[in-house]
Amino acid sequence: KMLTKTSVKKEFLCDMAFLTTIGSKIFLYPFEGRTGYKIIGYTTVCCLIYITIAQLFLTLFVTGFHDLIDISNIAPNIGVCILTVIKYTKIYTHRKLYHAIITHYQKYMWSIIQMNDIKNLKTIVKYKSVSYFINKILYYYSLPLIIIIVSLPLIVMFYNKKFNDNEFEYLYPFDGWYPFDKVIWFYFIYAWESFMTALVIYTFAFSDMINMSCVAYMCMELSVLSNLLTNLITNEDIEDLKKFKNIFKIHQRIRRSLKIIIKRHQFLNKLAQGLDLALEDVSLINYIFGSVFICLTAFTFTFIDDLYKKIRYFFFFISLNFVILNQSIIGQILSDHSVKLTNAIYSSNWIYADRTTKTTLLYLMMKTQIPFTLTAKGYISMNLNTMTQVTSTSYQYYNLLRCIYHS
């Protein structure tokens, strides 16, 4: 299939439509100029999650401090709800940033792509496919996870009633505290906890999809800029310069192209700084408490005898690792792609440029050696080293907790 700018742009915008549809479903899109219906929906989602957080804290205070197992059951649920509401509200708070990102990749990014620029068109197709694939993984992971968490208590209850009459007990998705009889109000409580479980997972996963896609688009444009820098001075230009042919026009075109690249790099740097502000609170919580929550969920499914809780917290453990890995990967790939521009400058046949262009390239090289970073409030960069630190710390906490429990 022959790649053309029109066909690639059309496919790219179709994939972006999937992202904007997701944003619309959780009342975040459009990021600007939203209707009253969207604002009411957003406020309702926030209120429901805040109510769930308050309920879980109340559960912890009423029942959770009596037993280490109870603490390990409740604390990770609180952490996930807090992370969800922070992710959700941060996207709303920084809605102008997300609006600028979406608008840029819908309209303005395409001005630097030439009609016959096959290399950059292939780059866009590659990153579009990667972004779409990752979004589908998150989408198809979150839906089965909701089904498992919501249906698992009923399945275990049915099994116990059928085969273990003496061990029957009522089970709930997150087993919160209520000021009334939980058995009498079983169906109401189960419906409420199922709904809130689905809402939290749905909001959490789809907020991640929006952030992941924004980073993927930025990495795509950085790769496009790398290609443009590599081909800043073409072989045809070199031949003409050696023959002293069209020297002024060639250098003028090179300076004009370089000016556009620098402006785009500055714009992407501004977007990266904005994303860092939007994600810094979540990154800090992941870094500080991620190891604690991973430790608690691992402790629960390895030491508790309850089959239902073993299965539930095993999936919880996997999900928490996935969340922190996701945060670390997007920070790593954004940083890696930003410094690749330095290598592109080395490969740009810069020795054939005029003095002004060489000076500008040197300035740009100094800028590109400073990577774009996503940080935890500026304390630490989120990358794969951070993931290693979190998992190592969680294993140490796990061993400590195991010793305390046995003693």
Segments making up each domain of the chain, as ranges: 5-406
Residue 271 contacts residue 218 (beta carbons within 8 Å): yes
> What pTM value is reported for the model?
0.91
What band does 232 get if pLDDT is binned at 50, 70 and 90?
A: very high
The average pLDDT across 113-137 equals 91
- What is the length of the chain? 407
For the chain, what is the mean pLDDT? 90
Q: What percent of the chain has pLDDT over 70?
A: 98
Which residue do the tokens 């262009």 mark? 357
Closest CA to 168 of 183, 178, 149, 188: 183
Say how far apart CA 63 and CA 44 lie, in whole Å: 28
Report the greatest alpha carbon distance in the chain. Answer: 95
CA distance 128 to 15: 8
pLDDT digits (tens, 9 = 90+) for 234-244: 999 999 988 88
**Which residue, 151, 145, 152, is CA-closest to 200?**
145
Determine the Cα–Cα distance for residues 55 and 44; give it in Å rounded to an integer: 16
CA of residue 140 relative to chain centroid, distance: 15
Residue corresponding to tokens 């929550």: 293
Cis previous bond, 371, omega within 30: no
Predicted pLDDT at 151? 93
- Cα–Cα distance for residue pair 192/169, rounded to 1 Å: 19
- ∠ CA(386), CA(389), CA(394), 5° rounding? 125
Q: What confidence category does residue 190 fall into, taking pLDDT thresholds of 50, 70 and 90?
A: very high
Cβ pair 83, 285 in contact under 8 A: yes
- Report how far apart the first and last C-alpha atoms of the chain are (Å, whole number): 67
> Given CA atoms 138, 144, 145, 147 in this order, what sign does their dihedral have?
positive
The position carrying tokens 């020795």 is 351
The closest of 380, 348, 377 to 362, measured between CA atoms, is 348
Give the H/E segment covering residue 144: helix 118-163
pLDDT of residue 300: 84
Q: How far apart are CA 291 and CA 396, in angstroms?
A: 9
Q: Among the ranges 92-101, 133-142, 295-304, which has the highest mean pLDDT value?
A: 92-101
Closest residue by Cα to residue 264 from 126, 131, 367, 381: 367
Look at residue 167 in the predicted model and tell me its pLDDT. Answer: 64
Query: Which candidate, 175, 174, 217, 223, places its Cα nearest to that of 199?
Result: 174
**Radius of gyration of the chain from its Cα atoms, rounded to whole angstroms:** 26
Neighbours of 266 (CB within 10 A): 11
Q: How many beta carbons lie within 10 A of that of residue 148, not counting itself? A: 13
* C-alpha span between 102 and 278 (Å, rounded): 15
- The pair phi, psi for residue 31, each rounded to 5°, is -70, -25
Does 65 have pLDDT greater than 70?
A: no
Output the pLDDT for position 1: 63
- Please give the helix or strand (H or E) that residue 280 lies within, else none: helix 247-303
What is 324-342 written as a DSSP string? HHHHHHHHHHHHHHHHHHH
